[in-house]
Amino acid sequence: MKTLYVKFIVITIGMMLISFILAFIISNAYYQQKLKPFNDAKNTKIARNIAAFVERHPQISLTDYLDSLSDVGYQICLVDTNGKTTFFGESFRDNSLSVSTKEDVLNGHIYHGILNFPQQSFVTGFFADELRNTIGMPITFNGEKFALFIRPNIKFLFNEMHILFGWILALAITLTIVMVVINTKYLVKPISKLTKATTLLANGDFNVKLDITRHDELGELSHSFLRMAGKLEQIEDMRKEFISNISHDIQSPLSNIKGYTNLLENDSISNEERNQYISIINAEIKRLSTLTKQLLLLASLDRNEDLLKKKPFNVGQQMKELIRNYQWAISEKGIMLSYSTPDIEIIGDPSLLNTVWDNLLSNAIKYNKPNGSIEISIEEKQQSIYFIFKDTGIGMKNTEVERIFDRFYRADMARTRTIEGTGLGLSITKTIVALHGGHIDVKSKENEGTTIIVELPDR
């Protein structure tokens, strides 16, 4: 398989050759249509002037005069009425010319060989060194008729120039190929580095280095590649952390269940202890069940399954119903709750959005301080609806705020070790909000509280 470097060079040189051929064909067509008639007319005028000069000066030597003309760059053929042919100057490559053509010129007609020369080959009218490719002019000298055939001696006129043009063309092609090879290497080199970096990335090595000092498309590609590598490394770290967390969150309740089940096998334990162990086992089973349901929901959301069952519903009434369901937990913790949930109708999935409000309210209760407060409000602004959950809980650091939507992440485990949770609720919340075309924003200050704002389109 050819490398991109070789392909680029071959394609570039191929384009040069094709361009040269097309330019040559177009130039030839232009010559045949435009320059050839002009060249014929110009040489016909010169032949007329020669004939007129000869006829006005019968005292000159015709052969000497024609010799002098050949010396300045003309090929000449003189035919008399007896068919005798005399050549002056550089000989023709092909001296063949029909007898009828010679007789026609002797009889007073002009022969336009340059104009009517066959067009089978390229630029024939200019370079074909043949007697047929001439201008035939009848002349009369001292009462005797002649047929004069004349054409410019191209080799004589352009001998040095065509060598110069040949060198120029050869040097131009050679230098162009050299520059193409050098420039191609310069262009392909960063792509080769990207290929190596891609291989390293595929093998799990995210510490790739690329030239990002370029200010062209390849530089931008390198920037994008490094950003992608950083994102992939972050995703890989999250994946490992996810596996570690889920393993811990499943293994921990299973260990508890196994331990307390073993204790239940002891006949010496009291009924009170037995009931306590059974209660703990049930709590761990419930914890595993919740974790399993959340994992299944997340898997469905990640696969973009058709989970959304949108329909119009009163979100204010939904929020009030949720608050009533949590009234016992709010009262038990001595939290003061205030809410402003006007009747607002939106289009969305009531079940999934109820999961969002449930997660946010349960977190506001769990992470709140005893005798703290929670404020819930719904506001309409322009074409959006804002759902605001504000609490006076333990709050979070900035570094924690940046990660609270990561799966299995729990802010400051040392401070929340007594609080149950899977670490999946906010990740599910963010995904559901995104599916509804919304946005979620978090503002928090350590030991002062947290405010979460969900923005959804009103339609």
Residues 53 and 93 both lie in one domain = yes
Vertex 417 angle, CA 414 and 419, to 5°: 140
Strands (E), 153-289: none
Asked if residues 110 and 119 have their Cβ atoms less than 8 Å apart, the reply is no
E strand or H helix at 137: strand 135-141
Closest Cα partner for 51 from 153, 137, 131? 137
Asked if residues 195 and 179 have their Cβ atoms less than 8 Å apart, the reply is no
Residues 234 and 350 both lie in one domain = no
Q: Is residue 274 in a domain?
A: yes
Q: Is residue 177 in a domain?
A: no
Task: Name the pLDDT band for 376 (thresholds 50, 70, 90).
Answer: very high
Among 226-230, 329-333, 371-375, the range of highest mean pLDDT = 371-375
Domain boundary among 159, 184, 199: 159
Residues 327 and 279 both lie in one domain = no
Residues 28 and 148 both lie in one domain = yes
- The residue range of the domain holding 226 is 217-302
What SS3 class is residue 418? Answer: coil
Q: Which residue has the higher pLDDT, 77 or 252?
A: 77
Q: Which residue has the higher pLDDT, 209 or 15?
A: 15
E strand or H helix at 374: strand 373-381
Residues 150 and 22 both lie in one domain = yes
Beta bridge partners of 24: none
Q: What is the pLDDT of residue 418?
A: 39
pLDDT at 415 over 60: no
Q: What is the pLDDT of residue 320?
A: 93
Number of domains the chain is built from: 3
Burial class of residue 110 (count of CB atoms within 10 Å of its CB; 0-12, 13-18, 19+): middle
* Size (the chain), residues: 459
Residues 450 and 316 both lie in one domain = yes
Task: Name the pLDDT band for 405 (thresholds 50, 70, 90).
Answer: confident
Residues 151 and 258 both lie in one domain = no
Sequence-ordered list of residues with C-beta below 8 angstroms from that of 109, at least 6 positions apart, any chain: 136, 138
How far is the C-alpha of 432 from the C-alpha of 19, rounded, in Å? 58
Q: What is the pLDDT of residue 157?
A: 61
Q: What is the pLDDT of residue 408?
A: 64
Domain boundary among 126, 144, 159: 159
Phi, psi at residue 314, to the nearest 5°?
-85, 105
- What is the residue type of 442? V
pLDDT at 7 over 80: no
Burial class of residue 352 (count of CB atoms within 10 Å of its CB; 0-12, 13-18, 19+): buried
Asked if residues 361 and 326 have their Cβ atoms less than 8 Å apart, the reply is yes
Residues 318 and 355 both lie in one domain = yes
Q: For 419-441, write each residue's pLDDT tens digit.
A: 455 667 788 888 889 888 899 99
Residues 407 and 317 both lie in one domain = yes
- List the CATH number of the domain containing 276: 1.10.287.130
Q: Is residue 211 in a domain?
A: no
Task: Name the pLDDT band for 162 (thresholds 50, 70, 90).
Answer: low
